[in-house]
Amino acid sequence: MDPKLGRMMLKEWVAIESDSVQPVPRFRQELFRMMAMAADTLQRLGARVASVDMGPQQLPNGQSLPIPPVILAELGSDPTKGTVCFYGHLDVQPADRGDGWLTDPYVLTEVEGKLYGRGATDNKGPVLAWINAVSAFRALEQDLPVNIKFIIEGMEEAGSVALEELVEKEKDRFFSGVDYIVISDNLWISQRKPAITYGTRGNSYFTVEVKCRDQDFHSGTFGGILHEPMADLVALLGSLVDSSGHILVPGIYDEVAPLTEEEINTYKAIHLDLEEYRNSSRVEKFLFDTKEEILMHLWRYPSLSIHGIEGAFDEPGAKTVIPGRVIGKFSIRLVPHMNVSVVEKQVTRHLEDVFSKRNSSNKMVVSMTLGLHPWIANINDTQYLAAKRAIRTVFGTEPDMIRDGSTIPIAEMFQEIVHKSVVLIPLGAVDDGEHSQNEKINRWNYIEGTKLFAAFFLEMAQLH
């Protein structure tokens, strides 16, 4: 495909304010427009396209909004060829020029080879790169080396509302002939070296509520004669992790997969400039000093982060209040082979033990509000070999074989429900700024990424 045409399409797509996070009618209309534009693009490629009605989304305030359709599309049904299904999403995080963007977030703007705009790297750019790769074979009047399927949604940033039910329903229909699933919704670990992602951490999100009463107290009238909820909560949160990042919940490391020599070697092979990484993160010192330790604690060991306290006084000024009810929020990033329900029991038991030793008259309630499993793939699967060969062809280098410290629930969902091999092939550089101000994709990554996907089709055809 002509790079100018590819950039024009990206400009059109970025211009649509397809924000799924803010549940308001205007953005929901934009999402429907975005999905219609994508469906039209695929139809013009010759794909059979179905836009699946997902029904309404019930909001906490009792109102409802329509969920944008999920696109199921297919190109080719040759039984002698492998079938590759691409997942992508076309919704974006909120963006506003006044939040610190240097350019209008919904006007794709090129500055020194960087294409700035909301959704440029997450995830409109990679979706279009895949479409561009397909259209290149069409433009050259060549048969596609593999059968292609698409599943494209518009609610990923809002938790992929209703998608799991659709995948479950379609596992013996749309997904029945699928051999491999490709996702391109994360980033490299460097600015210039491509990567393949074969694992992500899961996430268990907890709240711990400590309550004396619903109303706050005056510290002059009640200070000194109460079990203060905030003191209890600070003690509870302080019991979870030590100053070296080690989680203090008994048994939490019991099910963590043992470290092998082969795994250590994969960390050694990854290019990561620690000094550059530290400087770009604007952090004075990390907990660990070597590349291998940093990567292992980001990817293959669990971590516990404390996120905030609801109900506490956090405004400027000096308010002499004793909060009557406070809620602490923290989460644990899970790794293979940790189990969500086991972690829930371990955390609850630990907090109950700590709380009972305080002899407090307050009430404590622990809740796990989110439980997402970790995901890991077999890097010797056919499509991993094909992706490696395609990267060597396009970039002239071996890829970094990486895991992601964050959670991409869709990967684990596909692997569990559809039982097909899943690979993450990121296109964006480490500094693309997904979710933040001044999100961008480099022109070079966008164009070379399109070539990578085309080469991947050819390699898949050879190896299938």
pLDDT tens per residue, range 122-163: 999 999 999 999 999 999 999 999 999 999 999 999 989 999
**Percent of residues, the chain, with pLDDT higher than 70:** 98
How far lies 330's CA from each of 208, 253, 313, 430, in Å?
A: 8, 18, 18, 26
At residue 5 the predicted structure's pLDDT band, cuts being 50, 70 and 90, is low
185 is in an annotated binding site: yes
Q: What pLDDT was estimated at residue 51?
A: 98
Q: CATH topology for 202-256+301-372?
A: Alpha-Beta Plaits (3.30.70)
Q: In what order do the strands lie in the sheet with 363-372?
A: 303-310, 325-334, 202-211, 363-372
Average confidence score pLDDT of the chain? 95
Catalytic annotation present for 2: no
What is the domain partition of the chain in residue ranges? 3-200+374-463, 202-256+301-372
* Cα 442 from Cα 456, distance rounded (Å): 20
**Catalytic annotation, pick one of 91, 153, 232, 459:** 91
Rounded to an integer, what distance in angstroms lies between the CA atom of residue 347 and that of residue 332? 10
**Do the annotations mark residue 381 as ligand-binding?**
no
Indicate if the pLDDT at residue 282 is higher than 90: no
Predicted local confidence at residue 281, as pLDDT: 82
The response to whether 289 counts as a known ligand-binding position is no
Q: In the structure encoding, which two tokens stand for residue 442, read together?
A: 């480099």
Cβ–Cβ < 8 Å for 12, 37: yes
Residue bearing the bigger pLDDT, 59 or 101: 101
Any known ligand binding at 157? yes
Question: Which three-class secondary structure state does DSSP give residue 320?
Answer: coil
H or E element, residue 71: strand 70-75
pLDDT for 279 beyond 90 = no
For the domain spanning 3-200+374-463, the CATH number is 3.40.630.10
The catalytic residue among 74, 153, 156, 434 is 156
Which pTM does this prediction carry? 0.90
Q: Choose the weakest-confidence range: 26-30, 210-214, 278-282, 394-398.
A: 278-282
Average pLDDT over residues 361-368: 98
Question: Has 337 been labeled as part of a binding site?
Answer: no
Model confidence pLDDT, tens digit, residues 383-431: 999 999 999 999 999 999 999 998 889 999 999 999 999 999 999 999 9
Model confidence over 185-195: pLDDT tens digits? 999 998 999 99
In the residue annotation, 19 being an active-site residue is answered as no
d(CA 267, CA 259): 11
pLDDT of 456 strictly over 80: yes
Mean pLDDT, range 288-314, rounded to an integer: 96
Q: Please state, in angstroms and rounded to a whole number, the distance separating the CA atoms of residues 332 and 252.
A: 10
